[in-house]
Amino acid sequence: MDPTARIETTLDFALRAGEAPLGPPRLAAAIRHAVFPGGARIRPQLCLAVAQACGDDAPEVANAAAAAIELLHCASLVHDDLPCFDAAATRRGQASVHRAYGERLAVLAGDALIVRAFQVLATGAVQAPDRLARLIQTIGAGVGTPFGIVAGQSWECEPRVVLTDYQRAKTGALFVAATAAGAEAAGGNPQAWRSLGHWLGEAYQVADDIRDVVADPALLGKPTGQDQTHMRPSSAKSLGLCGAIQHFEKLISAAIESIPACAGAPRLRGMVAIESERLVPKVWSQEVLRDAGLALQRLAPAR
C-alpha cells in the first residue's frame, strides 16, 4: 500500500472506532469534518517516510504513529480556529469546525481527537508492544508541555516571547515528533532523525508566515493576514519578505543535509524538495526579488 493509502486508511479506521449507532452523532460528524478531507498530511507522510528509511519492520506501528500525529495536528487546528484564538471561518477549503458545528462541539472534537491519537498508538503497538511507551513519550513531548505544540500556541498568551522558542514549539515540535516517532516505530534510532524534523518544522513555520502575507486565501483554504490581525510574531515581519524567503531556503538545505545516510535517503531528499516547492514556489522568490529591484530603481536618482 502506498503511504497516502496507509495514512488515510488508518485515519478512517481510527475515527470509525469512535463512531457507534448509540454514540452522539453530531460529535462524530464534527470529528470527521476535522480530519477529512485532509491537507497535505505532511507530518504523517514524513513519519512514514522515516519509518520506511529505517526498514519499516512493524508497519502497523508506523501507521499508528503517523495517524496519531495527524490526529493531534487536526486537534490543534480545530482549537486554534476557535473564536478565542484565530476565529477562522475556513480551514482546508471548508467551514472550520466551530463554524460548521458550533464552538462547544469544536472544543469537544479537539479533545476527542487527542484521546483517539493515543488509543490508535495503543492499538497499532500490538505488533511491537515494547515500542509503545517510548512512542507515547516522543509524540506527547511534541504536543504537550513544556515544548510541544500546545505550549507553542500558549506563547501567544505570554507577555514576553522569543520568536524562535515560539516557532520551535508551535510547529517544529510536531515535525521532530514525526521524524523521531517514524524511526522509533521501525526500531530505528530516533536521535539520528530529530534534526530533519527540526529543520523542516522551522522551514514550515517560516513558509506559513510567508504564505500568510503572499498567498491567495482560496489557494490556502484558510484566511490570510492572520499574523498581522492577531499581532503574532512572524518571520515575514521580523526579516522582511525577501529575508524570510532566503531563510526558508537555507532551512530546506539544512533539512536535506541532515538526512542520515541510508537506503531511503534519496527518496526523502526528493520528498523534501517537492514539499519545499509546494510551500514556497521558487517563482515567489523571483517575483519578490524583481519587485525589490524595481523599488530600488525607483529610489535611485535619475541620471
* Residues within window 71-110 making contact with its own copies, judged by CB under 8 A: 75-76, 79, 82, 84-85, 101-105, 107-108, 110
Does 146 sit behind a cis peptide bond, omega within 30 degrees of 0 on the bond before it?
yes
Q: How many CA atoms lie within 13 A of 275 on its CB side?
A: 25
Q: Which of 38, 39, 55, 144 forms a contact with its own copies (CB under 8 A)?
A: 144
Question: Between 180 and 259, whose beta carbon lies closer to its own copies?
Answer: 180
Decide whether 110 or 233 has the Cβ nearer to its own copies: 110
Alpha carbon distance 63, 96 (integer Å): 26
Nearer to its own copies among residue 160 and residue 298 (C-beta)? 160
Judged by CB under 8 A, does residue 153 bind its own copies? yes
Query: Cα separation of 174 and 170, whole Å?
Result: 8
- 130 interacts with its own copies by CB under 8 A: yes
Helix then strand then coil, % of the chain, to nearest 5 = 75, 0, 25
Q: Cβ distance 185 to 135 under 8 Å? A: yes
| 243 binds its own copies, rule: CB under 8 A | no
Q: Which residues bind its own copies (CB under 8 A)?
A: 18-20, 22-28, 31, 75-76, 79, 82, 84-85, 101-105, 107-108, 110-112, 114-116, 118-119, 121-123, 125-126, 129-130, 132-134, 136-137, 140-141, 143-148, 150-151, 153-158, 165, 169
